[in-house]
């Protein structure tokens, strides 16, 4: 299933915390796209995913926003 | 007989000491996961996120996450903003040099860690504390107090100075070997640097300290001003975030201004425009300024003159400034305030 998380206007580590809390409610294989305005999210959220067994399909910048598309792992 | 490795939760700040402590325990075959607490006062993260220009040369990373990745361990980041308020407002053991409740903070975080290990069936807790490293929270006398008041007791292992302390549960049970732990003490960083070199760790964040805005005199001055000008000592997350950003001036007792210093701060303050009366220069390039407090026409004219002072029109005869309050906005043409007219005691 596809899910979205709005983490705009939050500064790291809050986008990471919101991502972490959201993923706890999802099933392996689900996809979560996070939108943030803190550019640090582009490095922090993938780092969090790597150490917690999730994968990042894609990340990209769009003006002042950044997007990270995460595939939930087995946790 | 149990074959699964014992499990430890390491408090990871992102600095060297906690990284080394976790690594020492990992070396002994223990399963380690990290925990990092977000209080709202962490220097980590926000300043580099907000002030893009000044910190652009530094790696844009969360050091706790980076440390966890280097160690190959999981990291749990916990939002403790709400419960942490009581630590800041009512520290049982008082403050340090500024508004830093270091001893209560340590007890609080270890208490949270105790709850976590009990909920997740972990065996013990690891910290990077070094006896004598910090004047308040890491003194010899405070170490047993922290263990006792946090309820961690002998489940708390401090691998960098364990050999200066009584045996703990993981040592007594043989989950870790005491002789492979360390006896560091004092403020010298050399033992940690030697150990880092032994582990091949060459890249790490600031050695120790400087991770909390509550230890910063300028920041705590602004926090005290906030409390002095509202009904009591209280704060929300937005309040303490805003104290980290921009120039803060209180030109009148009943209002203060936050003036952005650069583009990253402008973008950050944009997020607060709906909540605050705000001003922008129109005729010249210039900052965004938020105004907090009840202001009349004279106050807004003063705020506009101050905003103009920090614009590219500071030497112009007049500067046009837009004033926005709720859905209404209008323009004022003002003379930029001269630098010597901005009283030093207005700056917070």
pLDDT number for residue A49: 96
pLDDT number for residue B324: 96
Domains of chain B with bracketed CATH: 7-213 (3.40.50.620), 245-346 (no CATH)
Q: How many folded domains does chain A comprise?
A: 1
Residues of B within 8 A of A66 (CB-CB) are none
The CA distance from B267 to the nearest CA of chain A, in Å, is 9
Residue with more model confidence, A38 or B163: B163
Using only C-alpha atoms, chain B has a radius of gyration, in whole angstroms, of 24
pLDDT number for residue A34: 98
Q: How many other C-beta atoms can be found within 10 angstroms of the C-beta atom of residue B263?
A: 12
pLDDT number for residue A40: 87
Confidence of residue A64 (pLDDT cuts 50, 70, 90): confident
Q: CA-CA distances (angstroms) from residue B28 to B162, B267, B294?
A: 15, 47, 61
Q: How many other C-beta atoms can be found within 10 angstroms of the C-beta atom of residue B254?
A: 13
Residues of A within 8 A of B82 (CB-CB) are none
Residues of B within 8 A of A7 (CB-CB) are none
The CA distance from A43 to the nearest CA of chain B, in Å, is 6
User: What's the mean per-residue pLDDT of chain B?
Assistant: 91
d(CA B309, CA B112) in angstroms, rounded, equals: 47
d(CA B224, CA B174) in angstroms, rounded, equals: 49
Comparing A11-20, A53-62, B86-95, B198-207, which segment has the lowest mean pLDDT?
B198-207
pLDDT number for residue B46: 53
- Residues of A with active-site annotation: 12
- Note whether A12 contacts B62, CB cutoff 8 Å: yes
d(CA B330, CA B124) in angstroms, rounded, equals: 61
Give this complex's ipTM. Answer: 0.92
pLDDT number for residue B136: 63
Query: What are the tens digits of pLDDT across the range A16-27?
Result: 999 999 999 999
Q: CA-CA distances (angstroms) from residue B150 to B25, B87, B112, B115, B143?
A: 21, 13, 8, 10, 11
pLDDT number for residue B140: 78
| Closest in A9, A44, A51 to B73, CB measured | A51
- Note whether A51 contacts B50, CB cutoff 8 Å: no
Query: What are the tens digits of pLDDT across the range A7-53?
Result: 998 888 999 999 999 999 999 999 999 999 888 899 999 999 999 99
Residue A13 is part of a domain; what is its CATH number? Answer: 3.30.110.40
Residue with more model confidence, A62 or B135: A62
| Closest in B36, B45, B79 to A40, CB measured | B45
| Per-residue pLDDT at B305 exceeds 80 | yes
Q: Residues in chain B, how many? A: 348
pTM comes to: 0.89
- With beta carbons less than 8 A apart as the criterion, state whether B16 and B192 touch: yes
CA closest to A16 among chain B residues: B77
- Note whether B48 contacts A50, CB cutoff 8 Å: no
pLDDT number for residue B45: 57
- Note whether A11 contacts B45, CB cutoff 8 Å: yes
Comparing B22-36, B52-66, B196-210, B312-326, which segment has the lowest mean pLDDT?
B52-66
Domain that holds residue A7: 2-71
The CA distance from A1 to the nearest CA of chain B, in Å, is 25
Residues of B within 8 A of A11 (CB-CB) are 45-46, 49-50, 241, 268
Tokens at B128, concatenated: 């990077």
């Amino acid at each position: 299933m596809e899910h979205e998380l709005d983490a705009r206007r939050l500064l790291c580590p809050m986008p990471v915390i919101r991502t972490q809390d959201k993923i706890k409610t999802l099933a392996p294989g689900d996809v979560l796209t996070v939108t943030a305005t803190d550019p640090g999210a582009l490095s922090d959220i993938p780092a969090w995913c790597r150490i917690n067994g999730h994968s990042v399909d894609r990340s990209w910048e769009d003006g002042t926003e950044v997007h990270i598309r995460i595939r939930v792992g087995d946790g | 007989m149990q074959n699964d490795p014992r499990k430890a939760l390491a408090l990871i700040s992102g600095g060297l000491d906690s990284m080394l402590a976790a690594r020492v325990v990992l070396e002994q075959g223990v399963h380690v996961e990290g925990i990092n607490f977000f209080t709202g006062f962490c220097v980590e993260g926000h300043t580099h996120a907000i002030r893009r220009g000044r910190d652009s040369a530094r790696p844009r990373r969360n050091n706790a996450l980076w440390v966890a990745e280097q160690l190959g361990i999981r990291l749990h980041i916990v939002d403790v903003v709400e419960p942490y308020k009581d630590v800041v407002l009512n520290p049982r053991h008082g403050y340090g040099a500024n508004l830093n409740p270091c001893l209560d903070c340590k007890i609080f975080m270890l208490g949270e860690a105790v709850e976590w290990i009990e909920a997740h069936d972990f065996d013990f807790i690891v910290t990077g504390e070094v006896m004598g490293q910090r004047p308040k929270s890491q003194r010899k006398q405070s170490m047993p107090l922290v263990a006792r008041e946090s309820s961690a007791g002998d489940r708390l292992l401090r691998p960098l100075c364990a050999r200066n302390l009584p045996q703990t549960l993981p040592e007594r049970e043989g989950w870790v070997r005491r002789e492979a732990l360390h006896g560091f003490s004092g403020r010298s960083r050399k033992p940690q640097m030697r150990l880092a070199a032994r582990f091949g760790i060459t890249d790490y964040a600031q050695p120790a300290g400087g991770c909390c805005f509550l230890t910063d005199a300028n920041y705590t001055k602004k926090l005290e001003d906030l409390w002095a000008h509202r009904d009591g000592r209280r704060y929300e997350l937005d309040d303490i975030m805003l104290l980290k950003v921009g120039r803060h001036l209180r030109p009148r007792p009943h209002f203060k201004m936050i003036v952005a210093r650069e583009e990253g701060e402008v973008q950050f303050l944009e997020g607060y425009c709906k909540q605050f009366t705000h001003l922008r220069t129109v005729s010249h390039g210039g900052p965004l300024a938020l105004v907090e407090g009840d202001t009349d026409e004279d106050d807004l004219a003063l705020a506009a003159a101050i905003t103009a002072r920090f614009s590219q029109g500071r030497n112009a005869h007049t500067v046009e400034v837009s004033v926005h309050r709720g859905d209404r906005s209008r323009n004022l043409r003002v003379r930029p305030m001269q630098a010597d007219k901005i009283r030093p005691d207005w700056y917070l």
